[in-house]
A = this chain, B = another copy of it.
Amino acid sequence: MAGRSSPPILTDCFSCQARQRTEWCVLNEDDLKRINDAKKSRQCLPGEVLYHQGDACRGIVCIESGMIGIRKIDADGNSVLLGLAYPGDTLGYRALLMAQDHEVSAEVLKKGSVCLIGEATVRSLLDHNPSLGHRFLWRAVKDLGEAENKFLESVTLTVRARFAHLLLILKDRYATDVEDGAISLELPLSRQDLAAMIGIRPETMSRTIRQFEDDGIAHFSGRTVHVPRIASLLDEFEHEDYL
For A, the interface residue count at a CB cutoff of 8 angstroms equals 40
Produce 1/0 per residue, A130-174, CB < 8 A to B: 100110111011111101101111111000000000000000000
Within 8 A of B (CB), among A89-105: 93-94, 97-98, 103-104
Q: Which residue of B lies closest to A198 (CB)?
A: B155
Task: Assess whether B94 is in contact with A155, with CB atoms less than 8 Å apart.
Answer: no
Task: Assess whether A82 is in contact with B137, with CB atoms less than 8 Å apart.
Answer: no
Task: Assess whether A145 is in contact with B103, with CB atoms less than 8 Å apart.
Answer: yes
A118 proximal to B (CB < 8 A):
no
Task: Assess whether A75 is in contact with B238, with CB atoms less than 8 Å apart.
Answer: yes
Task: Assess whether B98 is in contact with A156, with CB atoms less than 8 Å apart.
Answer: no
A72 proximal to B (CB < 8 A):
yes
- Taking a contact as CB atoms closer than 8 A, the residue among B72, B133, B154, B238 that contacts A154 in the complex is B154
Q: Which residue of B lies closest to A83 (CB)?
A: B148
The smallest C-beta distance from A150 to any residue of chain B, in angstroms, reads: 5
A215 proximal to B (CB < 8 A):
no
Q: Which residue of B lies closest to A238 (CB)?
A: B75
Q: Which residue of B lies closest to A77 (CB)?
A: B156
Docked Cα-Cα span, A240 to B76, in Å, equals: 8
A177 proximal to B (CB < 8 A):
no
Task: Assess whether B137 is in contact with A144, with CB atoms less than 8 Å apart.
Answer: no
Docked Cα-Cα span, A142 to B145, in Å, equals: 13
- Taking a contact as CB atoms closer than 8 A, the residue among B80, B93, B145, B240 that contacts A152 in the complex is B80
- Cβ–Cβ < 8 Å partners of A154 in chain B: 151, 154-155, 199
- Taking a contact as CB atoms closer than 8 A, the residue among B97, B141, B143, B240 that contacts A138 in the complex is B97
Docked Cα-Cα span, A138 to B97, in Å, equals: 7
A200 proximal to B (CB < 8 A):
yes
The smallest C-beta distance from A53 to any residue of chain B, in angstroms, reads: 11
CB pairs A–B below 8 angstroms (6 shown): A78-B155, A78-B156, A80-B151, A98-B138, A133-B137, A140-B141
